[in-house]
Amino acid sequence: MSDSLYKDACALVIIQMGEFANRFSDEFLEKYNEIEWSQLIGLRNVTAHNYENIVDDIIWEIIHEDVLKLKNIWKKILYD
């Protein structure tokens, strides 16, 4: 996370996922409830509005642990 361009790109991915999640209908969110939508949206808000105070280790952990899980769930949703 010492590369600020990489850090910014990772934060942008988090922000975009939260933006999209915030636009889904309640029915969609209930149907695909294996994703913790409120946490994803909340993380988007923190990342977008309090970016300068985000701890690099937290972003790194999210990117390496949670984004891969979300990617697999998104694939499942796309083919559903």
Q: Which residues are catalytic?
A: 44, 49
**In this structure, which amino acid lies at residue 52?**
E
Per the listing, tokens 């409830």 go with 33
CB atoms within 10 A of CB 63: 18
